[in-house]
Structure 1
Amino acid sequence: MKDFDVIIIGFGKGGKTLAAEFAKRGKKVAVVERSEKMYGGTCINIGCIPTKTLVHQAKIASGMKGLTFEEKSEFYRQAISIKEEVTSLLRNKNFHNLADHPNVTVYTGMGSFVSPNEISVRTATEEFILKAEQIIINTGAEAVIPPIEGITDNPFVYTSTSIMELTTLPRHLVIVGGGYIGLEFSSMFASFGSQVTVLEGYSELILREDRDIAASVQETLEKKGVAFRLNAKVQSVKYVDQKAIVTFGDSLTNEVFELEADAVLLATGRRPNTEGLNLKVAGVDVDARGAIIVDEYLKTTNPDIRAVGDVKGGLQFTYISLDDYRIVREDLFGKKEKKMTDRNPVSYSVFIDPPLSRIGINEEEARKQNLDVVIKKLPVMAIPRAKTLGETDGLLKAVIDKESGMILGVTLFAPDSSEVINEVAIAMKTGQDYTFLRDFIFTHPSMSEALNDLFT
């Protein structure tokens, strides 16, 4: 039995930042991480950092005209190598930021509750018990594997994690799922030079977005060569003669089709990673989706155990996990004034090319709530900076309360939208009405100044 003040299960953004905070305050901290490849968490190793590194390389690739497929494949191999270099550097830095601190001990192994304040840790060589009065769960989320015939142990089938280890550019990539993850990878691989087909089970793409935004996204990706098959229900994935054969049916016509592919990506969502934690013995409850139930201060149904990051459900972003850290920090060491319900609305970006970014409600949601709103739109082709970049696809859209002039939501499908949306967020968070952005003095030419015209 080894005693600590705090045990943190998982080396993600919220957990690692809390570990450093506790250690700084003289607490003895144990951090349990099941894989040496995951020091630093999802974002650094299999999420935002590697994908955005590849998105950047794919954008470079899209501008390289006249290359053979073999030349494109070589560039892709180099891009994977760059991605590996970036993630390895950050993983090593994150490990040593904690492991080198005298108050922190990092254990690489599987952690599982054996009582409300005890964790069994199974490493490659031994098994032992850790004990602490304060425990933080930060185990993240994992890919959802749908029940499709033939995908188990199929060498041509990948998740969003494993496909980033693929060093050979597929000539034809089939993506199962047309959500945000599927669209991001479709844009990336099409830019690298793959033929990409997206199989989406619904009749429309990205149902969370307004139909005009979704249509603009689809049109832009189709220009890149991405093919969409809607109402597609995948039945099986078999491999024959070093190829994958994807069989799917059209749910409207009941027709059955086959596609030959070099790789198949399952982009069917992610779910909280709680398997093996033995939460029941700790008195920690989960909801119907498997997410750990927490209160506004991130306490679970056992108040001595908290959950931060993706494992508690909701928005799965590293900046949410970082904000979870702030909530716990302020609850334990501050004035207890910060809580989970304070942070809405939260912006997000999907890194297709161009990025799709949004904050607040969209037009469809406003109409369903019977709100009296003004809708403003601006095509990207009308923005001077977009013309200088040679990137004129996309659409900007704002939802404004008619009486008060307050901004209820903004969607930006445009170059640099992942940066510009933060300016909108600041305006909304500080209670500015739409005229603040309409009349703000932005630099020229910039994508930000498009907000002047959007809100006119």
Structure 2
Amino acid sequence: MSSKYDFIILGSGTTAFAAACKASSLGARVLMVEQSKLGGTCVNWGCVPSKTLIHKAKEFYAAVRSAPFGINLRAEEPDYALLMQAKIKAVEDLRREHYQQVLDADERIEVLRGHGRFLSPRELQVGAEVLVHDKFLIATGGTPRSLRLPGLVEAGYLNSYSALNLPAFPASLLIIGGGVVAVEMGQMFARFGTRVTIVERGDRLLKEFDARLVALFAEILHDEGVELIYNFEATEVRREGEQVCLHGRTSQGEGDCCLRAERILLAVGTAPASTDIGLEETGVARDEGGFISVDEEMRTNVAGIWAAGDVTGPPLIAPSGAREGEVAAENMLNPAAHRRIDHRTTPMAVFVDPELAMVGISSAQARAAGKAVVETFLPLDRVAKAHVMGGRRGGFVLCAERGSGRILGAQALAPRAADLIHEATLAVRFGLSVHDLAETVHVYPTIADGLRLAAVENLRHQP
């Protein structure tokens, strides 16, 4: 059976599907092995359902705070059942239109249902069938990481998947973690009326982002009723009737304390979805976090086996996984192609309100690499559109090479930052300078004009 395919993919999510479509466009035939729903995590349990609810929470919150602007909307209690229907519809529509319909129209791509497990580097067992091939792509994605915290399992906890399928909004929620999932989920639940506490063992949220932007966003969360607790070392979880109690200590040495809520949500990162797929039978190397090790061409250390997407580790975002899948597919079909992935120009965003987005490297990273830089911080209130929209807390950070002015990185906390970051992405990718950006005419008034203003400011400090 497997001889009629040019290669076999383990998984059918964003990464796998991108690889399959790329292979098909090059005239190849591929087989995807999938044990669950077509489309993988992003469509079914991650990006699509979470961003659907986040968007609805933003609209609901806009109605709540509209009165000071003269818009007399009344925000009634959110209808949880209708919200869940909207989430399910978005998932089902995308799975059908972006995945199933594509498969139905493409005879070069096939899907075999079942759990795939390697028996050797050349054999993949799916049910009673053994697929023999000399080229495999592992694209199984990731799963929410858990903690070995005493009492956690017994008390019961949510992760980023199950939190989107509750029968109702909880009255109170404790979130362990201070990363992307924690702040996205935290703000969403808070806007729907849940009392939210985010507990972080470090000294701030979102360590990838500029500390000034994060501090501004933390103020926004606080003003929306989200409690933020830093430097907290969780030690135990206990159930006390209808509530859970998270025991822990703070860095101030105040002794054991207990934080109580109706539910507890773990948001402590992503683990590779690589258990029980027979990796130990292949000899494929993994790093300390369990992620599959690959080179820039998405090759593993075992000839004939490639890997791409979240199963290989950061940046752990669907678009980067899709690009990795395409790179892997081209190299699998043409070993002389030597396609490479370079995530230095891969943007990322956090879908909070206002949004956070970034691309490239920070000033600290640039200096660590021996570069002399000029960094600009432009407060959002310098941007006319922010005054029009009524939200002026935020800003832009622009890092450029001293002398040449070449843009090395950019970050933003602003409305629509996830959209406007692509302008900075193109600038970083193609080596544009702050001079190029400053001289580019922007529509007025727009939030994106903040990038131009940041470039103008950066030019003033260039030698």
TM-based fold match above 0.5: yes
Residue 196 of structure 2: SS of its match in structure 1? strand
Q: Return the match for 1:87 from 75, 78, 91.
A: 91
Note closer, same or farther for the CA distance 1:267–1:88 as it changes in structure 2 (3 Å cut): same
- The alignment-based identity, stated in percent, is 28
CA–CA distance in structure 2, aligned partners of residues 385 and 15 of structure 1: 40
Note closer, same or farther for the CA distance 1:205–1:84 as it changes in structure 2 (3 Å cut): same
Partner of 1:50: 49
Partner of 2:112: 107
1:10 aligned partner, one-letter code: G
Partner of 2:70: none
1:46 aligned partner, one-letter code: W
| Aligned-pair Cα RMSD in Å | 2.2
Partner of 1:241: 241
1:175-205 residue CA offsets vs partner (Å, 9 max, x unmatched): 0001122111112112222111000001222
1:44-74 residue CA offsets vs partner (Å, 9 max, x unmatched): 112222221111101011123299xxx8653
Partner of 2:103: 98
Residue 344 of structure 2: SS of its match in structure 1? coil
1:365-393 residue CA offsets vs partner (Å, 9 max, x unmatched): 34545543222121112211112122212
Contact 1:99–1:106, Cα closer than 8 Å, also in 2: no
2:111 aligned partner, one-letter code: V
Partner of 1:59: 58
2:273 aligned partner, one-letter code: N
CA–CA distance in structure 1, aligned partners of residues 372 and 306 of structure 2: 40
Q: Give the alignment's TM-score, normalised by structure 2.
A: 0.90
**Post-superposition offset of 1:100:** 6.2
Q: Give the alignment's TM-score, normalised by structure 1.
A: 0.91
Contact 1:76–1:192, Cα closer than 8 Å, also in 2: no
1:111-153 residue CA offsets vs partner (Å, 9 max, x unmatched): 100121211113xxxx322222221110001111101122215
Partner of 2:450: 450
Residue 204 of structure 2: SS of its match in structure 1? coil
Partner of 2:126: 121
CA–CA distance in structure 1, aligned partners of residues 60 and 291 of structure 2: 39
**Post-superposition offset of 1:332:** 4.4
**Post-superposition offset of 1:265:** 0.9
1:218-259 residue CA offsets vs partner (Å, 9 max, x unmatched): 112111111111111122222232222222221331422222
1:105 aligned partner, one-letter code: E
CA–CA distance in structure 2, aligned partners of residues 43 and 262 of structure 1: 27
Partner of 2:10: 9
Contact 1:7–1:131, Cα closer than 8 Å, also in 2: no
Note closer, same or farther for the CA distance 1:350–1:277 as it changes in structure 2 (3 Å cut): same
**Post-superposition offset of 1:423:** 0.2
Contact 1:232–1:248, Cα closer than 8 Å, also in 2: yes
Residue 299 of structure 1: SS of its match in structure 2? coil
CA–CA distance in structure 1, aligned partners of residues 46 and 258 of structure 2: 31
Q: Give the alignment of 1:415-430 within 5 angstroms.
A: 415-430=415-430
Note closer, same or farther for the CA distance 1:296–1:282 as it changes in structure 2 (3 Å cut): same
Note closer, same or farther for the CA distance 1:73–1:201 as it changes in structure 2 (3 Å cut): farther
Note closer, same or farther for the CA distance 1:199–1:66 as it changes in structure 2 (3 Å cut): same
Partner of 2:30: 29
- Number of residue pairs aligned between Structure 1 and Structure 2: 445
2:378 aligned partner, one-letter code: L
Note closer, same or farther for the CA distance 1:402–1:106 as it changes in structure 2 (3 Å cut): same
Q: Give the alignment of 1:255-266 within 5 angstroms.
A: 255-266=255-266
1:117 aligned partner, one-letter code: R
1:428-453 residue CA offsets vs partner (Å, 9 max, x unmatched): 21211101111211111111112221
CA–CA distance in structure 1, aligned partners of residues 262 and 76 of structure 2: 16
Note closer, same or farther for the CA distance 1:54–1:175 as it changes in structure 2 (3 Å cut): same
Partner of 1:361: 361
Contact 1:174–1:199, Cα closer than 8 Å, also in 2: yes
In structure 2, list runs of 5 or more residues that go unmatched: 67-74, 457-463
1:268 aligned partner, one-letter code: V
Note closer, same or farther for the CA distance 1:239–1:107 as it changes in structure 2 (3 Å cut): farther
Residue 153 of structure 2: SS of its match in structure 1? coil
**Post-superposition offset of 1:327:** 1.4
Q: Give the alignment of 1:13-412 within 5 angstroms.
A: 13-23=14-24, 27-36=28-37, 39-65=38-64, 74-93=78-97, 94-98=99-103, 101-122=106-127, 127-152=128-153, 154-155=155-156, 157-333=157-333, 336=337, 338-341=339-342, 343-369=343-369, 371-412=371-412
Contact 1:284–1:300, Cα closer than 8 Å, also in 2: yes
**Post-superposition offset of 1:213:** 2.0
Note closer, same or farther for the CA distance 1:210–1:74 as it changes in structure 2 (3 Å cut): closer
CA–CA distance in structure 1, aligned partners of residues 145 and 54 of structure 2: 23
CA–CA distance in structure 2, aligned partners of residues 407 and 27 of structure 1: 39
Contact 2:78–2:192, Cα closer than 8 Å, also in 1: no
2:386 aligned partner, one-letter code: A
**Post-superposition offset of 1:11:** 0.7
Residue 264 of structure 1: SS of its match in structure 2? strand
Contact 2:22–2:330, Cα closer than 8 Å, also in 1: no
Q: Which range moved further: 367-376 or 281-290?
A: 367-376
Contact 1:9–1:138, Cα closer than 8 Å, also in 2: yes
CA–CA distance in structure 2, aligned partners of residues 372 and 116 of structure 1: 47
